[in-house]
Structures are given as structure tokens and as C-alpha cells.
Structure 1
Amino acid sequence: MTDLEQLSRFTTGRGFVAALDQSGGSSPGALRAYGVDPAQYATEAEMFDLIQAMRARVISNPAFGSDRIIGTILFTGTLDRTIDGRSVADYLWQVKGVVPFLKIDAGLEDTADGVQLMRDAPSVGEAVKRGQDADVFGTKARSVIHAADPVGIARIVDQQFALAERVLDAGLLPIMEPEVDITIPDRAAAESLLKEAILARLDGLGERQVAVKVSIPVVDDFYADLIAHPRIARVVALSGGYTQAEAIDHLARNHGLIASFSRALLEGLRADQSDEEFGEVLAASIDAIYRASVT
């Protein structure tokens, strides 16, 4: 059953969601930005050890706490890891008071009808079960929109809701992430089609709620009606390739929309920084993202 304390924390808490769910595809870039060259690891296992060390350094830092951060999204491999002798999910909630989520998608299909659907892989169901066993509160699943194609966007939304219902049936809260590529020329039209399609499906949830992770919209406060909908637990925003400063500037103009940043959160952190330097950079980033999230 959904933990009511975690539900209240996620739906009403002031702060943002930290996206620390780097997977096999995104970890090399995250490590490179952190100052770890690919030549420093020879195997995937070594790569995941290094990305876990980075995550643990962030999560265990005093700046990373429930006064600014509501939730954290993890990668499935992180469930087997520990911080100070506790599983990462347990450490987040029991020590930090931060609600744990789990990335469950298995990557993306090739582009068709202007979108990339999630791969339909058996591992998705396995990830949901692992999330249940690890006592995470919810899940996150990503697909990508590259054009304002009504057929493709309808397929994205149908797939996201179908998976969300499976997650809800498992007693977890789904974060649907139909990302709109911020570089496309018809981005505003794509966002309009996306919001219309999501709103049309929400009443079918009955009394249940979902969360949505979106790109920061072209039009300020564009998602206000989605944020206010009773079937929406929270609307969070990815940084989508913006720099931290750009993402914060755009986010602050969208009332009620909170951050779920990854690259923008980790910007400026380096493996060779002293603990004091690392903590100062992280604290400044968390504070700036927090302030933009509570507008």
C-alpha cells in the first residue's frame, strides 16, 4: 500500500525531485561531466561503481536533505547498493526523509511518427517488482517527442498511461515522462497536443493519481491546468539540455512546476574536489533549484 506520509510529502512538500537515475547509456556522459574520463574504467561494472560513488557522495552530503529535496529517482542497479550500511532507498527515506522513486523503462525504440516509444521489454515488469520489494514509493518511465505529430503523441500517451496503470496496480505511484525535445521547431504545438492528450485520459483513473514529468514549456504557466487537476499528484520538470542557469530561469517563471533535474543539479561537481568544495557547489545548486521550484 502507498505510504501516506510519503504521499503527503511528495504531493504537498516544498522542494524538488533529484534525478539520480543515470543508466548504462547516460552514465558515461555524467561521469565525464564529473571529471572521470572513460579511460579510468575498463568495464561496465567499474563504470557503475564510479557512478554509484558519485551518487552516494551527493546523497550523503549534508546539503542534500528534506528541507530542499522531496524525492529522488534511482536506477534499478542502485537498489543493490548501500550508503552507510543501508540500502540506498532505505537511506533516502529513513535517514534523509527523501521519497525514493525508481526508473523502470528499458530504453527507447527508434523514432516513428515523430516520437520514441519505450521499449516493450520484460525487464519493465521485473523493475516494478524490484521497486515493490525495495520499498520505493513510485516509478518513472521516459519516452521522447521529436515532432508535433498527433498520431505519435497519442501513441506516447497511450503507452504511458498503460504502464502507469500497471504501476498503480502494484501499489506504487507512477511518474510519466513524455519528454518534448526542446530543440524542435514545433515544440509549442507538440506541448499543446501532449497536454490535451493527457487531460483527456485523467478522468479514466477514477480516484487514483499519477505524476507527470515534462520539459519546461515554451509558454510560461502552460501546465497550470495540469498541475491543478485532482488526478495529478505533482508535475515536475526535467532540465532537458538547458544549462543550470537557463533551466532555473525558465522554471522560475512556471508557478507550481517543480524541478526534477539531473545534469543541471550535478553541474559544477567534480570528482577531484575536496569535500568542502564539493559541498559548497552542491549546496548552491540545491538552493538555486529549490528557490525556482517554490515560485
Structure 2
Amino acid sequence: MLKKMPNNRLKIPAVVAGLMLSASALAGTPGGSEGFDNLFDRAEDDGNCSVNIVSGLNSTFYVPVDDGNGNAKFNVLVWGNGTGGTSTTYSSLLESVASQCILVAAANTEDSGTGAEMEDALDNAQLRYSSIIASNAIVCTAGHSQGGGGSFNAANRIGADCVIPVQPDTRWTTQIDDDLDSDVEVITLWSSSDTLAPASGNRSNVQDASSILTQVETSGEGHFEPTSGRGGNIGTLFRMANIAQLSNEAATRQEFRQAFFGPETEYTVTEDNSDISDVRRDSGAINTTP
């Protein structure tokens, strides 16, 4: 079974219970450079594709449909849920990602830390949707909380090109089993008011496993922001990261990649933005071509 679909980019137990899902909501719009604001504003909205949600036994698929191009092919996001959650918990967020013309394959499991169920979701997507997956498709893994930690393990299982963990727990519900390959790009999203999987307790594990890493922390959002509607500011950043890595338009990918990779420009995410409390880009991210 094909696992990795290569791309052609240049790439230089009370605690566990506390991670069970509930919901809250905060919203805001970052201020800052006009370049970054433009990207952020565009990522707040849905993309050009309509979305069909297809439920399977072990996976749920958010399938983009480009009404203007019947021959459109798509890249793939593989998703893992937080402890106690299912893909339904994140349905609005994942549908908004798929609207950006990205095929989303979400594991249905409530325990996605090993990455095995996420690997199965990709296998199922490749069987069901081979006709609309690009022949040289880019594959990213992502997830929230336990699923965020599991996205590292899934990336190693499938040979993913990139990882986009959201508030990843890497201590209590799962652990990162091994370092990523040196060419795997990682965009990690944290929130300053997250007390369950804070950056302070998990950052070192993410850094140790990554060679190309950008980390962004939003201000004032809690651990369950991604489960509420479109996910607040962290949800918009998540869409930005997905567009940057998985848009099926190369020019759009390159434009949004400027927010996370390469030398600092007006498009780069920085702490100058009022709702972003911390940004850390390692040398691998800075030296990676947008």
C-alpha cells in the first residue's frame, strides 16, 4: 500500500481525564503587518470548494468538490482527535479546511496517540478517493491534544511531508515515539490560556522531534477552542497552515508559506500581532524556502 506521496517542494490518570473534551469560544483578529493580515483575513473565510462529508466505519472523510474544475486533484490532511473526541467534535473546523480544496481523512477513534488509526484513515482515503488525490500529493498529519501528539507518530508511520499539531499533548495521553525525518516541516499551534496541554510543558518534546519547526501561540484561548465552531484565532492559523502546505494551487501555497518559513517579511507571523503571544521559528524554518 502506498503511504507517502512525495512532493516537489524545495525543503532546506486525573490529568488524562482533564483532557476529555468540552467546548468554549473566544475570537479575535490579529493586528500587525498588512501582508500577514491579508493572509489571516483570507483564511478566516471558506475556500473555493464545496465539501461532502462521508462517514466510514473507522474514518470520516471531508471531500472537496471544485465546481469550477471537474478534474481537480487534491493533497491530503490526516487528522487525529483529542482524548474522548471524534471527528464530529471537530466537524466545523475540518470542513472549513476541506473547503480550501484539501481532502481531509479523519480517524474516528477517541484514542489517536499511536498514529495507527490515522495511518488507517490515509489507507482508506487512498482506496476510496484515488481518482481525486494528486499523483504527487503532499500529505500532512495533524490533530488536537492527544491527536496532536499522535500526529508525530502518524507522520513517521506514513512518511508524511509535514505535521500541523494543535495544542499537542506529548506527556500524559501520548508520547512522541521517535524523531521526524529531517525534511519534515512542522507548524505547531499553542494557546496561552491552555492549562491542559500548554506550550510550557510540551514544547521541548516537539522541538526535540523536529528539524524544521515554527511554533505560534495565540493569546487568551483555552484548550477547547478548536472544538468550538471554526476554532477562533487558533482555527484560523490552522487553516493558514493547511493552505500553506496543502493548497492545490502552487502559487497560493507559496504565498501562505511566507507566514511560517523563510526570512522575516511583512507576511511573517510575529508577536507584533495583538492576538499572538509567542512565535518561535528555528533555523530549519528560517532557512526553508517558502
Q: Structure 2 length normalisation: TM-score? A: 0.40
Structure with greater proportional helix content: 1
TM-score by length of 1: 0.40
Of structures 1 and 2, the one with the larger relative CO (CA 8 A, separation 6+) is 2
Looking at CA atoms only, which structure, 1 or 2, has the larger radius of gyration? 1
